[in-house]
Amino acid sequence: MAVLSGGEKSRTLLGKILAHPSNLLLLDEPNNHLDMESIDALIESLQNFPGALLIVTHNERILRALATKLIVFHRGKVDVFNSGYDEFLEKIGWEEENDGKGAQKKPPLRNNYIEKKEREKAERREKARIGKLEALIMKSENALKQYNEQLEIEANRNNLAQINELAKKISRVKQEIEDLYSEYGD
């Protein structure tokens, strides 16, 4: 090992770590002293690793390939994101990103995170509202079907009183269904 360069030592030690059976790897900037091919090999090996990985890195290639959950330390705050790096960039991003025209301010991480959580909460409420409407529509359509079946029976019996009563019920249920569909579309 004494004759190896820093990168060669890193590759040798990483190979030794990956070859040794374990269920958790803690890696601090594992890409330091590695060339592009070695980083690719490291990523491939870590993707095939059956255990859990905890990696400290600034390397976006490693983050994109391996991260499924991020713990971001930024400006004295710690935020946890249950997403990969690309989704983090898309939904949250960093506070300042340079677009070639100077620094462009983005909302702070915390505000984006809170907004995301509020959007998710609103989406859950909307999904629950739609689920409730669908259940009511299904219930009303089943009632309509039963009323129509009863109407056919009473029509065969020529029972005018029941026919009139069922016609009123059918009309009322049809209006309910129409109102529910209208509310569903809103």
CATH at residue 69: 3.40.50.300
Q: What is the pLDDT of residue 16?
A: 79
Domain check: are 71 and 147 in the same one?
no
* Domain final residue, candidates 96, 117, 138: 117
Structural domain of residue 38, as residue ranges?
6-117
What pLDDT score does 149 carry? 93
Establish if 179 belongs to a structural domain.
yes
Select from 83, 117, 151 the last residue of a domain.
Answer: 117
Residue 28 resides in a domain = yes
Report pLDDT for 81: 83
pTM listed for this prediction:
0.42
Q: Please give the backbone phi and psi of residue 41, each rounded to the nearest 5 degrees, phi first.
A: -65, -40
pLDDT at 102: 43
The reply to whether 71 falls in a domain is: yes
Q: What is the pLDDT of residue 78?
A: 82
Classify residue 1: in a domain, yes or no: no
Number of domains the chain contains: 2
Residues of the chain with pLDDT under 70: 7, 14, 18, 94-113, 186
Look at residues 88, 117, 146 and tell me which one is the last residue of a structural domain: 117
Q: Is residue 16 part of a domain?
A: yes
Summarised one tens digit per residue, pLDDT across range 128-142 is: 988 998 999 999 999
